[in-house]
Structure 1
Amino acid sequence: MSDEGSDEAEDRASSPVDYPDADRAAVEDEPPPSARVPLSRERIVEAALEFIDANGLPGLTMRRLGEQLGVEAMALYRYVPSKEELLDAVVEYLVAGVRADEVVLDAPQDGWQDFLQRLAHGVRRMALAHPKAFPLVASRPAEAPWLRPPLRSLEWVETFLSGLLAEGFSDEAALEGYRAYTSFLLGHLLLEVAVHGADVGPLDVLDDQTGAPGLADHPTVARLREPLSQDHSAVEFEEALEALLDRLAVTRNEHLTD
């Protein structure tokens, strides 16, 4: 290879691909839901999600939710017996929203990589639309204790595994894919929603602190503070997803040759 070709390869390796953040654009362009007058379980769940989006999860109480809906808190219990059941219903609503995403598929149509890319971006759009509620997807009990968030319902895990099996994955490769895929989604998206104000416990240390102490004792961090604070979430998500799919392709092929 010529020196010129080598230089071009180095430039491509050092310069991240500029992926447009279509997920965030889709979320920001989505109009707010219209109000519904009759009190119902669905309206209560939607109102709870709106409250969490606006105020954060810690402030949600049945009394405050009743005030938002213009009713006494006791009126809510006819439809939602407890706050715990309300939180579970919010999670079900969020997960159902991923299936309703027009880009997400119920089964592979153009290969398993396309199938998983569509699903990953559907989950990310849900997280970006409701960053303060997304930690519930990670923390609320799943339908079975051996299911992993954010693909935490039996229906979604069936869709995921059967999709990979139909594309030539063995049982072992499909299970390894499920574990790796859910770990990638959960880890990346919890970090990303923390930047958008989600209460994710210890991850809150990621929030920018304009008066961060101790920088004088850490000159490298001080020098690189500006690039450290830049948001490259879309690029990182896309590149990490592509790397994961490459890894799953190797895993699939290894099990085919066993």
Structure 2
Amino acid sequence: MTAKASRTPLSRERVLAAAVALVDSEGIQALTMRRLAADLGVEAMSLYYHLPAKEALLDGVVETVLAEIDAATAGSPANGDDWRARIRRQFLAARQVMLRHPWMPGLLSTRRTIPPRVFAYYDGILGVMIDAGFSYRLAHRALHAFGSMPLGFVQEIFSPGAADGGAEDGASEAELAALAQQMPHLAAMMAAEMHDSADPTLGWCDGQVEFEFTLDLLLDGLERLRA
């Protein structure tokens, strides 16, 4: 198996594809140069020719996942389409990619510098807005309002337990009862909004319905300001 793998020429793209596959199957903690080299059937030192350090590897993984978003929207119509439809399609495509790689939001938050492809990704979003008649000032404010939504997820204010929101895995009944006495409105919201554990989310209350609700709210408000 190792001999067969080694016959395929090593490239940066092949290394990064293997890295993403490894993290998908075993988590970001499993990603080491030694383990990645073993999966590729090469010596660990040969990876450093393509990615000189672990940080470069992680940045490359980020860029590889962003490339999936670009590919998912590559065939979408660019002209004659409402700007909101284009942005909405872009963000929802990004969300589907993030759901395939739920470790990606956490990895993004650890980057010491922003990989160049992230800047290019946001430049494309700005281009859609400027072409639609936005000023750079309003487009800048829009990016602040969108937060992490262009990348397909939202950063949550509250995280009261496990990501699946299950009461048995998160806050206990006693803890919720104590919270209800001190902060009744927050406790009532938590009780009403905890999702079914089968809901495939990227965080406690980052459900598909909530993501689209927030996105449409922002897009409609920005359209009023643009007009």
- TM norm structure 1: 0.66
What is the aligned partner in structure 2 of residue 71 from structure 1? 42
**Stretches of 4+ aligned residues off by more than 6 angstroms:** none
Counterpart among 162, 180, 193 of residue 206 in structure 1: 162
What is the aligned partner in structure 1 of residue 10 from structure 2? 39
What is the aligned partner in structure 1 of residue 202 from structure 2? none
Report deviation, 1:174: 1.3
For the Cα contact (< 8 Å) 1:49–1:90, is it kept in 2?
Answer: yes
Matches within 5 A, 1:95-244: 95-102=66-73, 105=76, 107-140=78-111, 141-143=113-115, 152-153=118-119, 155-185=120-150, 188-189=153-154, 205-207=161-163, 208=166, 210=168, 212=170, 214-216=172-174, 218-219=176-177, 228-230=194-196, 231=199, 233-244=207-218
Q: Alpha carbons of 1:139 and 1:122: their partners in 2 closer, same or farther (altered >3 Å)? A: farther
Matched to 2:138, the amino acid is A
Matched to 2:145, the amino acid is A
Write the distance in 2 (CA, Å) between the matches of 1:227 and 1:118. 26
What is the aligned partner in structure 2 of residue 57 from structure 1? 28
**Deviations along 1:117-152, whole A, 9 cap, x unmatched?**
1110121111011112343234322157xxxxxx83
**Deviations along 1:78-105, whole A, 9 cap, x unmatched?**
2211111111111111112211114674
For the Cα contact (< 8 Å) 1:142–1:152, is it kept in 2?
Answer: yes
Write the distance in 1 (CA, Å) between the matches of 2:58 and 2:160. 21
Matched to 2:114, the amino acid is A
Write the distance in 1 (CA, Å) between the matches of 2:159 and 2:152. 11
Give the number of equivalent residue pairs: 201
For the Cα contact (< 8 Å) 2:62–2:108, is it kept in 1?
Answer: yes
**Deviations along 1:170-220, whole A, 9 cap, x unmatched?**
2211111122123444694455xxxxxxxxxx9594334635564135346
Give SS of 1:97's match: helix
Write the distance in 2 (CA, Å) between the matches of 1:143 and 1:67. 26
For the Cα contact (< 8 Å) 1:62–1:73, is it kept in 2?
Answer: yes
For the Cα contact (< 8 Å) 1:103–1:118, is it kept in 2?
Answer: no
Write the distance in 2 (CA, Å) between the matches of 1:213 and 1:234. 23
Matched to 1:118, the amino acid is R
Matches within 5 A, 1:8-19: none
For the Cα contact (< 8 Å) 2:11–2:50, is it kept in 1?
Answer: yes
What is the aligned partner in structure 2 of residue 147 from structure 1? none
For the Cα contact (< 8 Å) 1:53–1:133, is it kept in 2?
Answer: no
Q: Give ranges in structure 1 of 5+ residues lacking alignment.
A: 1-34, 145-150, 192-201, 254-258
Give aligned-pair identity as a percent: 34
**Aligned-pair RMSD on alpha carbons?**
3.2
Give SS of 2:42's match: coil
Q: Alpha carbons of 1:110 and 1:39: their partners in 2 closer, same or farther (altered >3 Å)? A: same
Report deviation, 1:116: 0.6
Q: Give ranges in structure 2 of 5+ residues lacking alignment.
A: 181-186, 200-205
Of 49-58 and 128-137, deviating more is: 128-137
- TM norm structure 2: 0.74
Q: Alpha carbons of 1:48 and 1:204: their partners in 2 closer, same or farther (altered >3 Å)? A: farther
Give SS of 1:37's match: coil
